[in-house]
């Protein structure tokens, strides 16, 4: 009898325990189709190039090397991107932001993928709502201001997580 009561009590405690929301993506088992070349550019990482002239990503990526994304990597990138934008929008609503939520549909995306000396796969994704020429397919586009027309996120594929969402400010 005591054994049964103990199991019931443990079951009640387990059912009432609040879980912290996960910041990681579910395991993706299916490969993604090839990216649409009209909206996605996969850029090569070259540590000698000045990709990021006003933030610390160059120092953060430093000795990393270029990573060729597999179809499974691309599926995980898509999953993490959806989660990171949803989390950003939820955070904004919780803190009283009344503007429209981020909606990356119709944006061009630049993906810069690296593997760190520690073996972690990182992908920096840059969203652009406007690109007047095809330069965005070859080089990172950085814009001052522009509001939610330009935003980016850093993903960690090894940990199945995102590390930051950064939305440009408006002048």
Residue 171 in contact with residue 147, Cβ under 8 Å? no
Q: Is 84 helix (H, G, I), strand (E, B) or coil?
A: helix
Lowest mean pLDDT among 9-23, 101-115, 146-160: 9-23
**145: number of Cβ within 10 Å:** 10
Q: Hey, what are 108's tokens?
A: 């061009």
To which residue do tokens 């054994």 refer?
Answer: 3
pLDDT tens profile 40-99: 999 988 776 666 554 555 666 778 899 999 999 999 999 999 998 899 889 888 998 877
> How many DSSP H helices and E strands does the chain contain?
3, 6
Give percent of the chain above pLDDT 90: 26
Please, what is the average pLDDT of the chain? 74
């Amino acid at each position: 009898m005591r054994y049964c009561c103990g199991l019931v009590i443990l079951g009640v405690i387990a059912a009432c325990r609040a879980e912290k929301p996960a910041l990681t993506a579910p395991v993706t088992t299916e490969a993604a189709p090839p990216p649409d070349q009209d909206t996605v550019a996969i850029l090569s990482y070259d540590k000698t190039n000045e990709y990021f002239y006003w933030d610390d990503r160059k120092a953060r990526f430093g000795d990393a090397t270029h990573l060729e994304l597999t179809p499974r990597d691309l599926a995980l990138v898509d999953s993490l991107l959806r989660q990171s934008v949803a989390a950003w929008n939820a955070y904004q609503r919780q803190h009283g932001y009344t503007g429209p939520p981020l909606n990356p549909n119709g944006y061009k995306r630049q993906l810069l993928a690296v593997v760190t000396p520690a073996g972690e796969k990182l992908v920096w994704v840059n969203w652009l709502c406007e690109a007047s020429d095809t330069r965005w397919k070859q080089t990172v586009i950085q814009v001052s201001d522009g509001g939610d027309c330009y935003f980016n996120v850093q993903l960690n594929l090894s940990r199945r997580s995102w590390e930051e969402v950064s939305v440009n400010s408006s002048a």
